[in-house]
Structure 1
Amino acid sequence: MNATSPLVSIRGVSRAFGDVVALDDVSLDIQENEFFALLGPSGCGKTTLLRVIAGFEQPDSGAVLLSGDDLLGLPPHRRPVNLMFQSYALFPHMSVEKNIAYGLEREGLPKEEIRTRVAEVLTTVGLSDLARRRPNQLSGGQRQRVALARAIVKRPRLLLLDEPLSALDRKVRAEMQLELKRLQHEVGITFVVVTHDQEEAMSMADRIAVMGSGRVQQVDSPIDLYQRPATRFVADFIGTSNQFTGTAAEGGVLVNGVVLPGQPTGGAPTGAAVLVVRPEDTRLVDEASAYVSGTVVDTQFYGGVSTVAVEVPGHGAPVLHTRPGAPEADRGAVVHISWDAAKAVVLAG
């Protein structure tokens, strides 16, 4: 295998449950030591794909390769892959260290090696002082760390995480996002996380596959997904955006007789098109420099940033303008909006 070969290659994987198509010809490459996220709404196929990789689901067609070797021919327990469940699935009657050691004991490893590896991983996840406690004596974040320790102590080449932070409150979840990223770098294992939370995926992943209706819509870095969405689905799902629907035209999209400027992400669309502009990429200008004008219908101030909602005649939803600091305009004011054409994306409608 050369240096650029992927660790995991998913090729043309499909899976249907009766009339419901969960996976529709999915192909993906995941690199060694990458933190990779499968992101999408409920029912998009991301958990089914995770279960196919783990061996708990058999696809109807396609191939899954690990370093070029067929994974589908191996039962789950023979794959160098570990799946950390959403529920954590800890044994309530066992201590933290016993929970972590369980998988190694099942493999029949020498007691001294088990003791050493458990001590090492307890240090890595910061739970050495809690080794003798049971799960019901731990916080949600601590239980999550135990489940993670139990998964990485077996030193899998690939760790799969199914909505790993969904049971945690917002503050702990933010802390654990940083912790997961740190651990992934420290232990040198490829992580694949399934989540419907875009903030979670954007903060942790090196690359993200956005899934919808059983298909991969786009695979990219968080920054490229946000700044250069490839489809309207991705633009809708990732972040907040202003969308102007019209007809593809030279230099942008023709909306209500005016060409609003922007650039296509790939080949220029023809016919129905949509112009996508992020609220923070808009600016308030004088009337002569404006692309659209309207009346402020709402303002929101969040401390660090503020958002102004502007009702533009002929446009269905308010146009949002976000800026650092306090709002620039009050409710009822007439304002004029512009943007840099290089930061506006033209997509097929």
Structure 2
Amino acid sequence: MLKITGVSRRFGDVTALSDVSLEIRQGEFFALLGPSGCGKTTLLRILAGFESPDEGTVTLDGDDLLGRAAHRRPVNLMFQSYALFPHMTVAKNVAYGLEREKLGRAEIRRRVDEVLEKVGLAAMAGRKPQQLSGGQRQRVALARAIVKRPRLLLLDEPLSALDKKVRAEMQLELKRLQNEVGITFVVVTHDQEEAMSLADRIAVFNAGGVEQVDAPVELYEHPRTPFVAGFVGANNIFEGRACSVGLAAEELGILPGNSGLPDGTSALLAVRPERIRLDDQGKGVLSGEVVDVSFYGGISHVSVQVSGRRQPVLVATQGATQVQTGSEVALGWAEGDGVLIPQ
């Protein structure tokens, strides 16, 4: 549905986007994930019509999108700050865009009532934004964005202003709403959990470029670049050279991993903390001393200092662990749980 080809944008000496190409499908929930300043919001602003790229094309259903003025695009952008009109009621805020289009009163009322019902705010139609909670204001902004029935809804850090509990509720709400209204959503976020829980596919951005585009599980299980391995979730990264059974790491020996790389290739081995098991001494791949144990309600994080490695190895175990700080442990993992990445 949306095809972005070779888009670049520079601000003086700063390159915000460098030759970005993406394809987004009809009805998809697509996330742009990356650290601050990586170019994801610039791309969103180009799609909305607030920025123009220096190079590249963007088409929507095969038609040139960049040639249309912002207010002529079938695209809506929901701002991070929600940007609600404080002097208007909830219903008036939602109706504003439809009134600008000069739709009939009956049609406006029907569509406003329908969308407020969808976001669970029908009973609050007469309230002003300052009389609402953060989560409720966010729903008003969403209702105002979808009432115009855009082909594409752009959301810039939509949940960043909410506390953790409300954020979790709104993640479910966003996903439900997107399934119900059938609009293609593109969300910008630096929150990995948010991207993982919401998106059908995720594009990971770094320094103005796209590192990897994949479904959340594939992205987590099979990172293709060192940046993705380090940015998406916690990972234990080992340096060395690829060999037939994994990675040959200086001072650590042979570490098991899924190798598809030619022997001798400079590579990284990424192993997720939850894939590492604590073994009895002498049985594991590595051994070391426990330097820290933290309990996170359901999961324990165990940090193990291994000789020959600067950073401790992080292990995640279900429930409370019996392992004590200062004890010697062995660490092991299956060959399929280690992912080799060319360096």
Cα deviation digits, residues 110-138 of structure 1 (max 9, x gap): 11100100000010000000000000111
Are the equivalent residues in 1 in contact too, given 2:241–2:263 (CA < 8 A)? no
* Aligned with residue 106 of structure 2, among 90, 100, 112: 112
Aligned to 1:4: none
* Aligned with residue 194 of structure 2, among 200, 205, 213: 200
* Aligned with residue 326 of structure 1, among 320, 331, 342: 320
Give, as a single letter, the amino acid of the residue that structure 1 aligns with 2:130.
N
Aligned to 1:3: none
* Aligned with residue 170 of structure 1, among 164, 173, 191: 164
Aligned to 1:80: 74
Determine if the alignment matches structure 1 residue 294 to structure 2 residue 288. yes
Determine if the alignment matches structure 1 residue 55 to structure 2 residue 53. no
Are the equivalent residues in 1 in contact too, given 2:58–2:64 (CA < 8 A)? yes
Determine if the alignment matches structure 1 residue 261 to structure 2 residue 256. yes
Q: Structure 1 segments of 4 or more deviating over 4 A?
A: 266-270
Are the equivalent residues in 1 in contact too, given 2:244–2:263 (CA < 8 A)? no
Give the length in aligned residue pairs: 342
Aligned to 1:92: 86
Are the equivalent residues in 1 in contact too, given 2:4–2:22 (CA < 8 A)? yes
Tell me the TM-score normalized by structure 2: 0.97
Any unmatched runs of 5+ in structure 1? 1-6
Paired with 2:70 and 2:264, the residues of 1 have a C-alpha distance of: 47
Higher mean C-alpha deviation, range 120-129 or range 323-332: 323-332
Are the equivalent residues in 2 in contact too, given 1:269–1:348 (CA < 8 A)? no
Superposed CA RMSD in Å reads 1.2
Are the equivalent residues in 2 in contact too, given 1:270–1:348 (CA < 8 A)? no
Aligned to 2:146: 152
Higher mean C-alpha deviation, range 280-289 or range 149-158: 280-289
Cα deviation digits, residues 222-267 of structure 1 (max 9, x gap): 1111111011100111110111112222221111251111114x65
Alignment of 1:1-349 (within 5 A): 7-256=1-250, 258-264=253-259, 268=262, 271-349=265-343
Paired with 2:316 and 2:145, the residues of 1 have a C-alpha distance of: 42
Paired with 1:153 and 1:268, the residues of 2 have a C-alpha distance of: 54
Distance 1:269 1:232, change over 3 A: farther
Paired with 1:47 and 1:301, the residues of 2 have a C-alpha distance of: 36
Are the equivalent residues in 2 in contact too, given 1:35–1:207 (CA < 8 A)? yes
Paired with 2:227 and 2:91, the residues of 1 have a C-alpha distance of: 45
Paired with 2:263 and 2:17, the residues of 1 have a C-alpha distance of: 27
Paired with 1:149 and 1:275, the residues of 2 have a C-alpha distance of: 45
C-alpha deviation, 1:333, in angstroms? 0.8
C-alpha deviation, 1:307, in angstroms? 1.4
Paired with 1:156 and 1:210, the residues of 2 have a C-alpha distance of: 25
Paired with 2:206 and 2:263, the residues of 1 have a C-alpha distance of: 21
